[in-house]
């Protein structure tokens, strides 16, 4: 399975000029004419999306939005929102959804995320769906129960589409081709704390089995790990066949550390 290394820039950098500097360093390192074995993707802030995707157009690096509107996949009276169609028009081919910072600061619910996922797929965007437990839930050994609840959005989407008479094969293909799960324990995000590789492996296995149980025709889903991944610990995660890549926050804001993480995932996954 191909590995994925995705940089989630969050609300960074503060200016387009700084975003361009970071981008140029990444493009220069990737401009050797050959594709890395692992697929790279960048998720800049919405305001930088068009410029970043235009610059990445003839490279092997994909562009993602960090979020899309729940209310309409196209246009409408939703002040402050950007739709799936608008981000696709700006050059994104993927979107992150359900990041814990959106769940926390924007109270994103099951219903909201179901609508967002549906809007993304309607506009043929891929979805990097983030899930993960808080420190309190981890301490109370509730991780799998929390993940069950969060993953139920995918099951609901499948049910919805099948009820709307979408052919089963099309439905399953959409998920197979356009859905990636990112397991990001909330307590590991930006803290420097990471679960052990064995813990991540067990959780990824659980996620893969849970998604597979939603439909018998679903192939194995890609599951990335996110939360304090850096140049020093990336090779530990990359060595595991259960970990299909990384969703990187802080360390994606420096070309050197992001590329070191990408390199860690290059040789071991084919
Ligand atoms: P950090 O890599 O900064 O911990 O952030 C992870 C994350 O939230 C990526 O989406």
pLDDT digits (tens, 9 = 90+) for 179-203: 999 999 999 999 999 999 999 999 9
**The token pair that represents 235 in the structure block:** 């090779």
Ligand 1 mean position, distance from CA 263 (Å): 18
In degrees and rounded to multiples of 5, residue 248 shows phi and psi of -115, 130
The yes-or-no verdict on residue 207 having pLDDT over 60 is yes
246 CB within 6 A, ligand 1: no
Ligand 1 mean position, distance from CA 220 (Å): 24
Query: What is the rounded average pLDDT of the residues 122-143?
Result: 98
Query: What is the rounded average pLDDT of the residues 119-124?
Result: 97
- Kindly give the number of the ligand 1 atom that is closest to the alpha carbon of 96: 10
Query: What is the rounded average pLDDT of the residues 117-132?
Result: 98
The yes-or-no verdict on residue 26 having pLDDT over 50 is yes
The yes-or-no verdict on residue 36 having pLDDT over 90 is no
247 CB within 6 A, ligand 1: yes
Test site for ligand 1: of 105, 229, 262, most ligand atoms within 8 A of the Cβ: 229
Question: Radius of gyration of the chain from Cα atoms?
Answer: 18
Q: How confident is the model at residue 269 (pLDDT cuts 50, 70, 90)?
A: very low
pTM of the model: 0.96
Mean pLDDT (the chain, rounded): 95
226 CB within 6 A, ligand 1: yes
The yes-or-no verdict on residue 268 having pLDDT over 70 is no
Atom 5 of ligand 1, residue of closest alpha carbon: 249
Q: What is the dihedral of CA 90, 96, 99, 102, to 10 degrees?
A: 30
Query: What is the rounded average pLDDT of the residues 105-129?
Result: 97
Higher pLDDT, residue 168 or 145: 145
Q: Which residues, at least 6 apart from 144, have a Cβ–Cβ distance to it below 8 Å?
A: 203, 206
What pLDDT, on a 0 to 100 scale, did the predictor assign at position 222? 97
Q: How confident is the model at residue 270 (pLDDT cuts 50, 70, 90)?
A: very low
Range with the poorest average pLDDT among 67-71, 165-169, 180-184, 252-256: 165-169
Instruction: Catalytic residue, from 48, 133, 184, 204: name it.
Output: 184
204 counts as catalytic: no
For residues 212 and 56, give the distance between their C-alpha atoms in angstroms, rounded to a whole number: 33
Instruction: Catalytic residue, from 48, 99, 108, 133: name it.
Output: 99
250 CB within 6 A, ligand 1: yes
DSSP string, 150-183: HHHHHHHHHHHHHHTT--HHHHHHHHHHHEEEEE
pLDDT digits (tens, 9 = 90+) for 82-96: 999 999 999 999 999
Q: How confident is the model at residue 31 (pLDDT cuts 50, 70, 90)?
A: low
Ligand 1 mean position, distance from CA 69 (Å): 22
184 counts as catalytic: yes
Q: How confident is the model at residue 168 (pLDDT cuts 50, 70, 90)?
A: confident
64 CB within 6 A, ligand 1: no
């Amino acid at each position: 399975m191909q590995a994925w290394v995705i940089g989630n820039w969050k609300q960074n950098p503060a200016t387009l000029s700084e975003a361009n500097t970071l981008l140029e360093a990444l493009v220069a390192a990737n401009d050797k004419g050959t594709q890395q074995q692992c697929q790279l993707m960048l998720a800049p802030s919405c305001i930088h999306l068009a410029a970043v995707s235009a610059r990445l157009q003839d490279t092997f690096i994909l562009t993602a939005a960090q979020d899309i509107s729940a209310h309409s996949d196209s246009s409408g009276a939703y002040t402050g929102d950007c739709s799936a169609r608008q981000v696709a028009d700006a050059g994104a081919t993927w979107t992150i959804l359900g990041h814990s910072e959106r769940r926390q600061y924007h109270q994103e619910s099951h219903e909201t995320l179901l609508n967002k996922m549906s809007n993304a797929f309607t506009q043929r965007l891929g979805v990097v769906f983030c899930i993960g437990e808080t420190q309190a839930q981890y301490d109370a050994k509730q991780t799998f129960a929390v993940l069950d609840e969060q993953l139920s959005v995918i099951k609901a989407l499948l049910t919805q589409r099948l009820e709307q008479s979408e052919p089963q094969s099309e439905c399953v293909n959409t998920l197979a081709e356009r859905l990636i799960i990112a397991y990001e324990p909330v307590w590991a995000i930006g803290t420097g704390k990471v679960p052990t590789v064995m813990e991540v492996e067990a959780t990824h296995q659980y996620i893969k089995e849970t998604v597979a149980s939603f439909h018998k025709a679903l192939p194995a889903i890609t599951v990335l790990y996110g939360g304090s991944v850096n140049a020093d610990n990336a090779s530990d995660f990359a060595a595991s066949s259960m970990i299909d890549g990384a969703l990187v926050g802080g360390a994606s804001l420096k070309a050197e550390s992001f590329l070191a993480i990408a390199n860690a995932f290059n040789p071991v996954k084919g």
